[in-house]
Amino acid sequence: MNIEWIAVDWGTSHLRAWAMQGETVLDQAQSDNGMARLAKSGFQTALLDVIEGWLGSAPLDVVACGMVGARQGWVEAPYSTVPSAPVPVVPVYVPNTDPRIRVFVVPGLKQDNPPDVMRGEETQIAGFLASRQNWDGVLCLPGTHTKWVQVSAGEVVSFRTFMTGELFDLLRCHSVLRHSISDGWDETAFLDAVSDTLSKPEQLAARLFGLRAMDLLQGQASGIARARLSGSLIGVELAATRAYWLGQQLAIIGADNVSQIYAKALQQQGAFVEVANATRSTLAGLAQARNLTRQTA
């Protein structure tokens, strides 16, 4: 393998790394050593655990994005403020003691009003835009904290974060609904729930308990409650983001599964949606960030 550099997506709960030649992936590896698990002194070891096999005598650049750049991360990479290009500044160099690597962390973006932040998504946005000249429109990046991002003239103009994914996980695993939610997925139940909460978002907390009551009183086919829970939460989000997606050029960047769920909900509302691959966007964005470090080296 002729590895030229290493791309790293280092979030709260996972560390994923790719051995790169230009923009071509030669190998990949990952671990559960996300930012939340590590003390400051633990990041270098956690990284080497994953990439050790790729290292030789010549030093390699490692370019990382995500929560690794948070205050509790390896090094704090100060936010850039929107409006701004998604990756407007040279990534932050991380002093370290291993001569085989030179580590850089991509800063996140912040918005002053309303206050909002992102770390990691800015890199995906940069990667998405890299292959689409003059793309103006709205990006939806679904996940634990779903981002809706307005893009114009190569810049992130504004964005808004929704805790939809985290709410879904909390309710599914830790609330009284855990007794009523099984695996499986009923598409019709999902789309009905999206429509219902889109038109009556204020009823969310009642609809949630309704899932439990319906199960107690009537029983419920497998996958109905899970799809209804997801649909109810996404419906409220779509009610809040109507100005973002209605009549706009729209793309979703996310994991395949959750992207398809959002796409179906939006298509039902008449929106035209492009779905972009999240990993490909991350790698293209990290390649851009790497170019910034080389221009100034």
265 belongs to the binding site for a copy of itself (CB under 8 A)? no
Q: Supply the minimum distance, in Å, between the C-beta of residue 178 and a copy of itself.
A: 11
Question: Torsions phi, psi of 117, nearest 5?
Answer: -145, 155
- String marking each residue 267-296 x if it binds a copy of itself according to CB under 8 A: ------------------------------
3-class secondary structure per residue, the chain: CCCCEEEEEECCCCEEEEEEECCEEEEEEEECCCHHHCCHHHHHHHHHHHHHHHCCCCCEEEEEECHHHCCCCCCCCCCEECCECCCCCCCEEECCCCCCEEEEECCCEEECCCCEEECCHHHHHHHHHHCCCCCCEEEEECCCCEEEEEEECCEEEEEEEECHHHHHHHHHHHCHHHHCCCCCCCHHHHHHHHHHHHHCHHHHHHHHHHHHHHHHHHCCCCCHHHHHHHHHHHHHHHHHCHHHHCCCCEEEEECHHHHHHHHHHHHHCCCCEEEEEHHHHHHHHHHHHHHHHHHHC
Which one of 54-62, 98-106, 108-116, 221-229 is the stretch in contact with a copy of itself (CB under 8 A)? 108-116
Size of the site for a copy of itself (CB under 8 A): 43
Site for a copy of itself in 65-104 (CB under 8 A): 71, 79
Among 208, 253, 261, 287, binds a copy of itself (CB under 8 A): 208
Pairing of strands 92-94, 80-81: unpaired
Phi-psi region of 153 (alpha: psi -120 to 50; beta: other; left: phi over 0): left
Among 17, 129, 224, 236, binds a copy of itself (CB under 8 A): 236
Site for a copy of itself in 129-188 (CB under 8 A): 145, 160-164, 166-167, 170-171, 174-176
Looking at beta carbons only, is 116 or 274 nearer to a copy of itself? 116
Check: CB of residue 87 under 8 Å from CB of residue 44: no
Q: Supply the minimum distance, in Å, between the C-beta of residue 116 and a copy of itself.
A: 5
Looking at beta carbons only, is 84 or 111 nearer to a copy of itself? 111
Among 48, 90, 157, 240, binds a copy of itself (CB under 8 A): 240
Looking at beta carbons only, is 52 or 169 nearer to a copy of itself? 169
- String marking each residue 2-31 x if it binds a copy of itself according to CB under 8 A: ------------------------------
213 belongs to the binding site for a copy of itself (CB under 8 A)? yes
Among 202, 219, 270, 296, binds a copy of itself (CB under 8 A): 202
Q: Supply the minimum distance, in Å, between the C-beta of residue 76 and a copy of itself.
A: 11
Interface residue list for a copy of itself (CB under 8 A)? 71, 79, 110-112, 114-117, 145, 160-164, 166-167, 170-171, 174-176, 200-206, 208-210, 212-214, 216-218, 233, 236-237, 239-240
